[in-house]
C-alpha cells in the first residue's frame, strides 16, 4: 500500500526465504515463552504464532541441549523462520546453527575471544545465516555505561555499533540491529542515531513495555513514531501476555500507518454518543467474534459499524460495507450508499452474509 512515509534505505538481509530491510515489507516478529526444552509446547506455540501472521519467531536457546528443539521444529514442518536467542555462549550458537536455525541473536562483544566470534561468524557465513545484535537498556556494557553514566540513547547506539564493528572486522555484514529500552523517548532517539549512522536494518521494539493498554500505547508510540519517519524494517510489540496478542498488536500499528498489505479487515466503528440508536458496543463484540470464527476477518476490506444514520453513512463513505443503527433496525450501506434496512435481530447474520460476497 502506498503512503507518504519515505522508508530509509537499508541493506537487505536474508533470513531463510524472508528479506529484512531493502524494499521488503516490514516483518512482524514475536518470541515464544514456553520452555525451549519442551518441544511439544514450543512447537505448538510457534505454529500458532505463524498461523496468526508472525513472520519470524525467536526462541531462546539457554543451553546446548535446548537447540534440539530447532531441528525438531524444522522436522515437524515449521516453515516460519526461526531465530535462536543466545547469550554469551558461542557453543550454543554453533549448535543452533548446526540444528538449522535461520538467524541467531547474539552480541559478539559478549562471546569472549576473537576466535570464538570468528567461529560463529564462519558458521553463519557458511550457512547464509544473519546475526541480530540486540542491545537492551538493561544490559549495557560496563565501559559504555561508565562513559555515559546511564543507558542514554547515545550509549545504546554506541553499544550496537561496537558489536557490529566486531563482525565487520571479520567482513561480516549480514546484520540486523535492535536497540530496545523500556523508556520510549530513549528507544526512539537511539534508533534515530543508528538510522543516521548505519544502513543495517533495524528491528524496533519497546522492551519490558508491560501489559495491556500501557504496553500497547508505549509500543505504538515508540514503534509508530519511528515507522512514520521511515525508520525500521522489522518489529516486535512486547507484551506481558500471550505472544499471539503481540502479532495482532503489531499488525494494528502497521495498519494504522498504512504500512501493511493484506492486513485483513479494517473495522471502523463510531465511539457512540447520545444519538446512538442501537446497542452498538456488544453488537460490535459479537460481530468481531463471528468474523474471526468464520475467518472473514482476513478479508482485505473496510467495514464500518456506526451508531446512527445521521453521521454513519457519511463518516463511513470510504468503507466497503457497513451498518448505521436505527430504531430496532439498521441501514446496510456499501461505499456510503444505503442499500436496505435490516431488522436488529437479523443484523449480524445478514451483515455476515453480505461480507461473504467479498470473498467471491
Q: Is 276 in the site for ligand SF4 (CB under 6 A)?
A: yes
For residues 160 and 285, give the distance between their C-alpha atoms in angstroms, rounded to a whole number.
44
Does residue 313 belong to the site contacting ligand SF4 (CB under 6 A)? no
Q: How many CB atoms lie within 10 A of CB 133?
A: 24
Among 77, 150, 213, 271, binds ligand SF4 (CB under 6 A): 271
Contact between 311 and ligand SF4 (CB under 6 A)?
yes
Note whether 55 binds ligand SF4 by CB under 6 A: no
> Rounded to whole angstroms, how far apart are CA atoms 275 and 214?
31
Residue 26 CA to residue 1 CA, distance in Å, equals 12
Our CB check for ligand SF4 shows the closer of 276 and 300 to be 276
* Torsion 81-210-245-354 (CA) sign: negative
Backbone angles phi, psi at 57, to 5 degrees: -115, 125
Q: Which three cell numbers stand for residue 70?
A: 530447532
Toward ligand SF4, which CB reaches closer, 308 or 319?
308
Strand pairing category for 13-15 and 18-20: antiparallel
* Residue 296: CB minimum distance to ligand SF4, A: 23
CA 278/CA 9 separation, integer angstroms: 49
Q: Which is nearer to ligand SF4, 201 or 307 (CB)?
A: 307
315 touches ligand SF4 (CB under 6 A): yes
3-state secondary structure of 60: strand
Question: Is 184 in a helix, a strand, or coil?
Answer: helix
Half-sphere exposure of 162 (CA within 13 A, CB side): 16
Those residues whose C-beta lies under 8 Å from the C-beta of residue 53, and which sit 6 or more positions away, are 28, 247, 251
The residue from 190, 204, 226, 308 that contacts ligand SF4 (CB under 6 A) is: 308
Stretch near ligand SF4 under the rule CB under 6 A, chosen from 140-148, 270-278, 297-305, 329-337 = 270-278
Size of the site for ligand SF4 (CB under 6 A): 13
Smaller CB separation from ligand SF4, 149 or 282 = 282
Q: Which is nearer to ligand SF4, 131 or 324 (CB)?
A: 324
Q: Are 233 and 12 in contact (CB under 8 A)?
A: no
Smallest gap from Cβ 321 to ligand SF4, in A, equals: 16
Query: From the list 94, 204, 270, 283, which residue makes contact with ligand SF4 (rule: CB under 6 A)?
Result: 270
Q: Which residues of 309-342 are buried (b: 16+ CB within 10 A; e: fewer)?
A: beebbebbeebbbbbbbbeebbbbbeebeeeeeb
* Nearest-approach distance from CB 319 to ligand SF4, in angstroms: 12
Contacting range for ligand SF4; rule: CB under 6 A; set: 2-10, 112-120, 143-151, 309-317: 309-317
Note whether 275 binds ligand SF4 by CB under 6 A: yes
The closest of 238, 304, 241 to 270, measured between CA atoms, is 304
- Which CB atom, from 310 or from 339, has the smaller least distance to ligand SF4? 310
Any contact of residue 317 with ligand SF4 (CB under 6 A)? no
Rounded Cα distance, 78 and 63, in Å: 21
Closest-approach residue to ligand SF4 (CB): 307
Under rule CB under 6 A, residue 281 binds ligand SF4: no
- The C-alpha angle 202, 91, 127, rounded to 5 degrees, equals 55
**Residue 211 touching ligand SF4 (CB under 6 A):** no
Task: Give dist(CA 226, CA 191) in Å, integer.
Answer: 8
> Closest distance between ligand SF4 and the C-beta of residue 289, in Å?
21
Of the ranges 162-170, 188-196, 232-240, 311-319, which one interacts with ligand SF4 (CB under 6 A)? 311-319
Minimum distance, C-beta of residue 307 to ligand SF4, in the bound complex (Å): 3
Cβ neighbour number for residue 123 with a 10 Å cutoff:
18
**In whole angstroms, how close is the CB of 309 to ligand SF4 at the nearest point?**
8
Note the residues at the interface with ligand SF4 (CB under 6 A): 270-273, 275-276, 306-308, 310-312, 315
Amino acid at each position: 500500500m502506498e503512503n507518504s512515509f519515505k522508508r530509509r534505505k537499508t541493506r537487505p538481509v536474508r533470513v531463510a526465504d524472508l528479506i529484512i530491510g531493502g524494499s521488503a515489507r516490514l516483518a512482524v516478529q514475536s518470541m515464544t515463552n514456553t520452555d525451549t526444552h519442551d518441544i511439544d509446547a514450543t512447537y505448538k506455540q510457534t505454529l500458532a504464532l505463524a498461523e496468526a501472521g508472525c513472520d519470524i519467531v525467536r526462541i531462546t536457546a539457554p543451553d546446548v541441549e535446548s537447540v534440539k528443539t530447532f531441528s525438531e521444529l524444522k522436522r515437524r514442518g515449521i516453515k516460519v523462520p526461526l531465530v535462536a536467542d543466545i547469550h554469551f555462549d558461542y557453543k550454543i550458537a554453533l549448535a543452533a546453527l548446526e540444528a538449522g536455525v535461520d538467524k541467531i541473536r547474539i552480541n559478539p562483544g559478549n562471546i569472549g575471544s576473537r576466535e570464538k566470534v570468528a567461529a560463529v561468524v564462519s558458521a553463519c557465513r557458511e550457512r547464509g545465516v544473519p546475526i541480530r545484535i540486540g542491545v537492551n537498556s538493561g544490559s549495557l556494557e560496563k565501559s559504555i555505561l561508565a562513559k555515559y553514566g546511564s543507558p542514554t540513547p547515545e550509549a545504546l547506539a554506541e553499544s550496537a555499533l561496537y558489536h557490529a564493528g566486531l563482525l565487520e572486522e571479520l567482513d561480516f555484514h549480514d546484520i540486523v540491529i535492535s536497540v530496545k529500552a523500556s523508556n520510549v523517548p530513549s528507544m526512539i532517539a537511539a534508533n534515530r542515531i543508528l538510522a543516521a549512522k548505519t544502513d543495517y536494518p533495524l528491528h524496533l521494539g519497546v522492551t519490558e513495555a508491560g501489559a495491556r493498554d500501557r504496553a500497547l500505547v508505549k509500543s505504538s508510540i515508540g514503534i509508530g513514531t519511528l515507522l512514520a519517519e521511515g525508520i525500521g524494517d522489522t518489529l516486535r510489540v512486547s507484551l506481558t501476555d500471550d505472544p499471539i496478542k503481540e502479532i495482532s498488536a503489531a499488525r494494528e500499528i502497521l495498519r494504522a500507518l498504512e504500512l501493511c498489505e493484506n492486513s485483513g479487515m479494517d473495522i471502523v466503528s463510531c465511539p457512540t454518543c447520545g444519538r446512538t440508536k442501537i446497542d452498538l458496543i456488544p453488537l460490535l463484540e459479537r460481530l468481531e467474534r463471528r468474523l474471526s470464527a468464520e475467518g472473514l476477518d482476513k478479508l482485505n476490506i473496510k467495514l464500518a459499524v456506526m451508531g446512527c444514520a445521521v453521521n454513519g453513512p457519511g463518516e463511513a463513505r470510504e468503507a466497503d460495507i457497513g451498518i448505521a443503527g436505527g430504531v430496532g433496525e439498521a441501514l446496510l450501506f456499501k461505499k456510503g450508499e444505503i442499500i436496505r434496512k435490516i431488522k436488529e435481530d437479523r443484523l449480524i447474520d445478514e451483515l455476515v452474509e453480505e461480507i461473504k460476497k467479498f470473498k467471491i
